[in-house]
């Protein structure tokens, strides 16, 4: 893989044959080969679509978190308005890592009709000079939206000229929404900019050893440094738990890219292993780091659920020849967790659960559901690609369970919930307004302040599920006093009626 000579990252439709339209069962998606051979998952096509994601907005999930930076949204004022909802969270989470950190600083170039005719160059230059003069950031990030890309603004040339005038590094991110239907292309778009502008060896000298020699690399391999590629849906308690486990193996941990600062990206090259939390999120970055800097990487499972966490730790330990140490740590953690889960297993057993959100995360969370004796009755994934395959290994009796793929499309989810009749919903943050109106207990799939990862994450999910199931009066009242926005006739139809070539669900 090497796309760094190109201006922007390729779409995930082209690079990974990812899909956003599918309705069937887990057996069809457990091995990518079967699903792709069936010709359904890569079709990404609906006769009717209710909502669609935009990679520009998902790119902001990472970009808004980078410290000591000003973000310029180059486009109409509406692009990126979703950041309004995360200002407080961004500020708090930055300051928890560095109390002196600024909150989110963003500027819009506010392109209008006359700029579509005359070009957005003048406004972009003004915005960059203003950001540099007013805030003196280490980095000026320019996120490019559809309008400048459609009218042919050559932002790379404009920014390259401006770089001579500014103190901070200017980092263009090509994340125009219209270029892809797979929102997760955003991760590649952001990493493309980071790889080109941020990743480089630090200016300080490394004592005794010259860089780029076998001796140098061997020295660092023997070292105990790992980069853990965090994701926007991870919380500080999640990072704390993974740090605790890896430090328990004697490793030194650096988290990038979310809530990192520029120097973290430079020191990121002084590591032995890049560890992915989620292949869907990280493969573009770690693949390029291996090719360009010969740093090994691990893309496997996500450390959510005890089996997945143990597997994740074992794979990391193998790289450092720490297998025995990992075995001892896992045995101790598992024993403590089992004792702590016992009371929750008694109250939660037998409840039916429906999960919706990112493909890797929902299937991993299902491991906790089965561990607690609950029953998984269905999945809805934002999109589908090959990174889901190892996550199924931790599940049992899952082949016949419903699996659908859609980015948002709440009409399909509402229909499925009505047919499957789950006792509990675990759904992605931002899509819970429709889900909550079904009047069921609901646990968000992730949260910025809660622990979901590692062994303590399993306990925390069990504790919160137990609490949610005991008292969901708010959702019950919501369903009694509000109505869902879909007609009765829709609930009589197959939920996948609008997906081309989808396999139906039994009502």
Looking at beta carbons only, is 115 or 241 nearer to ligand SF4? 115
Task: Report in angstroms how near the CB of residue 149 gets to ligand SF4 at its nearest.
Answer: 8
Nearest residue to ligand SF4, by Cβ distance, number only? 177
Looking at beta carbons only, is 72 or 146 nearer to ligand SF4? 146
Task: Report in angstroms how near the CB of residue 115 gets to ligand SF4 at its nearest.
Answer: 13
How many angstroms separate the CA atoms of 282 and 157, rounded?
28
Task: Report in angstroms how near the CB of residue 476 gets to ligand SF4 at its nearest.
Answer: 35
Site for ligand SF4 in 78-97 (CB under 6 A): 79
Looking at beta carbons only, is 178 or 474 nearer to ligand SF4? 178
Task: Report in angstroms how near the CB of residue 473 gets to ligand SF4 at its nearest.
Answer: 37
Contact call for residues 156 and 138 (beta carbons, < 8 A): no
* Residue window 313-352: x/- pattern of binding to ligand SF4, with contact defined by CB under 6 A: ----------------------------------------
- In angstroms, how far is CA 474 from the centroid of its own chain? 29
DSSP character string of 232-252: TT--HHHHHHHHHHHHHTT-E
Task: Report in angstroms how near the CB of residue 74 gets to ligand SF4 at its nearest.
Answer: 10
Looking at beta carbons only, is 54 or 445 nearer to ligand SF4? 54
Does position 145 interact with ligand SF4 (CB under 6 A)? The reply is yes
Looking at beta carbons only, is 144 or 309 nearer to ligand SF4? 144
Looking at beta carbons only, is 147 or 395 nearer to ligand SF4? 147
Looking at beta carbons only, is 145 or 235 nearer to ligand SF4? 145
Looking at beta carbons only, is 176 or 385 nearer to ligand SF4? 176
Tokens of 38: 């069936």
Does position 220 interact with ligand SF4 (CB under 6 A)? The reply is no
Q: How many residues bind ligand SF4 (CB under 6 A)?
A: 9
Q: Quickly list H helices, 102-259.
A: 113-118, 121-135, 146-151, 155-162, 185-197, 214-222, 236-248
Does position 408 interact with ligand SF4 (CB under 6 A)? The reply is no
Site for ligand SF4 in 369-388 (CB under 6 A): none
Task: Report in angstroms how near the CB of residue 120 gets to ligand SF4 at its nearest.
Answer: 13
Task: Report in angstroms how near the CB of residue 271 gets to ligand SF4 at its nearest.
Answer: 34
How many angstroms separate the CA atoms of 248 and 259, rounded?
23
Element (H, E) at 411: helix 410-420
Looking at beta carbons only, is 185 or 451 nearer to ligand SF4? 185
354: Cβ–Cβ under 8 A, 6 or more apart, which residues?
377, 378, 379, 380, 416, 417, 420, 422, 424, 425, 426, 427
Looking at beta carbons only, is 148 or 454 nearer to ligand SF4? 148
Looking at beta carbons only, is 143 or 242 nearer to ligand SF4? 143
DSSP character string of 440-479: --EEES--TTS--SHHHHHHHHHHHHHHHHH--HHHHHHH
DSSP character for 177? Answer: G
- Burial letters 275-303, b for 16+ CB under 10 A, else e: bbbbbbbbbbbbbbbeeebebebbbbbbb
* Residue window 61-80: x/- pattern of binding to ligand SF4, with contact defined by CB under 6 A: --------------x---x-
Question: Which of 21, 22, 35, 56 forms a contact with ligand SF4 (CB under 6 A)?
Answer: 56
Task: Report in angstroms how near the CB of residue 108 gets to ligand SF4 at its nearest.
Answer: 11
How many angstroms separate the CA atoms of 90 and 17, rounded?
32
Question: Which of 20, 124, 131, 146 forms a contact with ligand SF4 (CB under 6 A)?
Answer: 146
Cα→Cα distances 422→352, 489, 494, Å = 5, 21, 18
Task: Report in angstroms how near the CB of residue 319 gets to ligand SF4 at its nearest.
Answer: 39
Contact call for residues 109 and 141 (beta carbons, < 8 A): no
Task: Report in angstroms how near the CB of residue 63 gets to ligand SF4 at its nearest.
Answer: 13
Angle, to 10 degrees, between the axis of helix 236-248 and the axis of helix 454-470? 140
Q: What count of Cα atoms within 13 Å lies in the side-chain half-sphere of residue 110?
A: 4
How many angstroms separate the CA atoms of 377 and 423, rounded?
10
Give the Cα-Cα-Cα angle 151, 154, 155 (nearest 5 degrees): 110
How many angstroms separate the CA atoms of 167 and 453, rounded?
38
Site for ligand SF4 in 157-196 (CB under 6 A): 176-178
Task: Report in angstroms how near the CB of residue 83 gets to ligand SF4 at its nearest.
Answer: 11
Question: Which of 54, 141, 253, 260 forms a contact with ligand SF4 (CB under 6 A)?
Answer: 54
Contact call for residues 195 and 27 (beta carbons, < 8 A): no
Looking at beta carbons only, is 80 or 137 nearer to ligand SF4? 80
Task: Report in angstroms how near the CB of residue 146 gets to ligand SF4 at its nearest.
Answer: 3
Interface with ligand SF4 by CB under 6 A: which residues? 54, 56, 75, 79, 145-146, 176-178
């Amino acid at each position: 893989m090497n796309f760094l000579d190109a201006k922007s990252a390729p779409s995930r439709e082209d690079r990974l044959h990812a899909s956003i339209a599918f309705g069937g069962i887990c057996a069809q998606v457990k091995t990518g080969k079967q699903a792709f051979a069936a010709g359904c998952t890569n079709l990404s096509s609906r006769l009717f679509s209710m909502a669609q994601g935009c990679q520009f907005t998902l790119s902001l999930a990472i970009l808004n978190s980078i410290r000591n930076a000003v973000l310029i949204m180059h486009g109409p004022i509406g692009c990126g308005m979703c950041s309004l909802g995360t200002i407080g969270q961004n500020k708090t989470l930055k300051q928890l890592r560095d109390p002196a950190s600024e909150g989110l600083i963003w500027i819009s170039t506010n392109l209008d009709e006359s700029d579509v005719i005359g070009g957005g160059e003048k406004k972009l230059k003004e915005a960059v000079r203003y950001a540099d003069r007013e805030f003196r950031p280490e980095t000026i990030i320019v996120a490019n939206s559809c309008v400048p890309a459609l009218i042919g603004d050559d932002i790379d040339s404009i920014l390259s000229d401006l770089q001579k005038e500014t103190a901070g590094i200017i980092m263009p991110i090509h994340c125009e929404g219209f270029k892809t239907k797979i929102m997760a292309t955003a991760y590649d778009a952001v990493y493309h900019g980071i790889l080109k502008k941020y990743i480089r060896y630090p200016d300080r000298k490394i004592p005794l050893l010259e860089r780029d020699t076998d001796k140098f690399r061997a020295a660092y391999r023997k070292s105990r440094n790992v980069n853990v590629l965090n994701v926007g849906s991870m919380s500080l308690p999640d990072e704390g738990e993974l740090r605790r486990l890896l430090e328990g193996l004697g490793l030194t941990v650096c988290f990038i890219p979310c809530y990192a600062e520029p120097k973290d990206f430079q020191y990121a090259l002084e590591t032995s292993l890049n560890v992915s939390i989620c292949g869907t999120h990280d493969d573009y970055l770690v693949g390029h780091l291996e090719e360009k800097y010969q740093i090994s990487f691990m893309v496997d499972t996500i450390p959510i659920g005890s089996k997945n966490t143990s597997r994740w730790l074992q794979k990391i330990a193998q790289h450092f020849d720490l297998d025995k140490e990992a075995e001892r740590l896992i045995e101790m953690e598992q024993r403590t967790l089992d004792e702590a889960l016992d009371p929750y297993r008694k109250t939660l057993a037998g409840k039916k659960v429906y999960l919706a959100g990112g493909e890797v995360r929902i299937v991993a969370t299902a491991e906790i559901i089965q561990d607690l004796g609950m029953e998984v009755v269905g999945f809805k994934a934002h999109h589908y690609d090959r990174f889901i395959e190892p996550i199924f290994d931790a599940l049992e009796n899952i082949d016949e369970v419903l699996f659908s793929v859609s980015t948002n499309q709440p009409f399909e989810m509402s229909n499925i919930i009505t047919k499957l009749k789950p006792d509990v919903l675990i759904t992605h943050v931002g899509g819970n307004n429709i889900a909550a109106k079904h009047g069921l207990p609901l646990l968000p799939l992730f949260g910025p302040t809660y622990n979901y990862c590692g062994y303590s994450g399993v306990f925390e999910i069990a504790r919160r599920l137990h609490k949610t199931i005991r008292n969901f009066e708010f959702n019950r009242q919501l369903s009694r006093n509000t109505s869902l926005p879909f007609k009765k006739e829709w609930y009589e139809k197959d939920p996948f009626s609008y997906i081309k070539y989808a396999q139906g669900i039994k009502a």
